[in-house]
Structure 1
């Protein structure tokens, strides 16, 4: 990420990273290099320590996925998370000499993976993922509703925990824009239905029009 070393676009706290994962749980798990390089899209959850710090990412893989064997050979991997993003057009601005750009929130996590096929670990992971995804919805679904099918499903799953070794994140959300241009960009994005990105931009806005929550 080209902006990852520009402090204007840094996460304000680990809460921003946790919020990004909650808003966009589907990530790419990547094990590059070698003949068995592997790339798998999968939902990941944030594990936080007692002090609230982000310590690990949790998820699961199908046992038949060749990525499992790769992780057993080499437990080092990366998770790439891409949050809300959109093209920013100069057509929205009074100053049409401005260049177009792209606003986004993204993070790359270097991980050390531990795998488990213990039934309790698999059950805990699947239960937690469903609870997270169903939370707040009327008529929320529960794994128990699968009945006997759930036990058969669980035997084909490997639980994973990725200890976070390093994080590189970029929240490029209009921090470098003049106040007038920033307002026009928000209007343009809202008009094109990019509501999630608008919320993130307002949350990171130090001009006084933002808030604490991106979602």
Structure 2
């Protein structure tokens, strides 16, 4: 991924937190069947391996899992908030007219060697961890134990597990860090403007935070 220095995020704790906050990753491979991509909800285990370990599962009916066997490397792309940025938000545009539209976005790319498993105990643990992760904030969390045993057994037979020990992670947070303070403030105001069609509070918060971090 092309990452200018001003947009690079290399702190592992930030990258891990981003992946956990935006767990739907796009698994990309180039194997015997050519290029394939599958969006999957991943669980990150940050304290395992060199750079953490990703775990997920695919439907057995999805042929993508067969290409993972023996594959040396795969890429998982995690994307966060993103928004269009008009040059009309830049105070400098009124002075120089030297500004063009752009896009602010956040992304993390993670590489590793995928491993495939059909082990029932592994799959059960993965489903339990995944369910608990996303149900824990609900007042009455759903749990695997709510399923009839025969139904759960059938579901386990219908999926394939994936484990990816990560070897490298890169983060690109393009949040107007290449603009001056006045222009960054203009972007934040524009993204918070309730009358603007490109209003985006999530990106506004990130642009503001990136500006503060730049000053530290």
Q: What is the TM-score when the length of structure 1 is the normalising length?
A: 0.85
Q: Secondary structure at the match of 2:14?
A: helix
Which structure 2 residues correspond to residues 73-92 of structure 1 after superposition, within 5 A?
Answer: 73-92=70-89
Structure 1 unaligned residues grouped into runs of 5+? 211-215
Distance in structure 2 (CA, Å) of the matches to 1:73 and 1:24 = 28
* Alignment size in residue pairs: 207
Please point out which of 177, 187, 190 is paired with 2:189: 187
Distance in structure 2 (CA, Å) of the matches to 1:139 and 1:202 = 36
Which structure 2 residues correspond to residues 8-27 of structure 1 after superposition, within 5 A?
Answer: 8-27=6-25
Cα gap change, 1:75 to 1:130, in 2 (>3 Å)? farther
Distance in structure 1 (CA, Å) of the matches to 2:134 and 2:110 = 22
**8 Å contact 1:75–1:114 — kept in the other structure?**
no
Question: Could you give the per-residue CA deviations for residues 129-164 of structure 1, whole angstroms, max 9, x where no partner exists?
Answer: 111122323332222223333222121111111011
Which structure 2 residues correspond to residues 102-181 of structure 1 after superposition, within 5 A?
Answer: 102-148=103-149, 149-181=151-183
Cα gap change, 1:90 to 1:114, in 2 (>3 Å)? same
Q: Secondary structure at the match of 1:200?
A: helix
Give structure 1 regions of 4+ aligned residues with deviation exceeding 4 angstroms.
207-210
Counterpart position of 2:91 = 94
Question: Could you give the per-residue CA deviations for residues 43-101 of structure 1, whole angstroms, max 9, x where no partner exists?
Answer: 112111279x7422111111221111111142521111111111111222333322111
Distance in structure 1 (CA, Å) of the matches to 2:208 and 2:25 = 24
Counterpart position of 2:211 = 205
Indicate the structure (1 or 2) with the bigger Cα radius of gyration. Answer: 2
Q: Secondary structure at the match of 1:205?
A: helix
2:29 aligned with 1:31: yes
Q: Secondary structure at the match of 2:212?
A: coil
**8 Å contact 1:122–1:159 — kept in the other structure?**
yes
Distance in structure 2 (CA, Å) of the matches to 1:208 and 1:7 = 12
**8 Å contact 2:27–2:40 — kept in the other structure?**
yes
Deviation at 1:167, TM superposition (A): 2.0
- Higher mean displacement: 55-64 or 11-20: 11-20
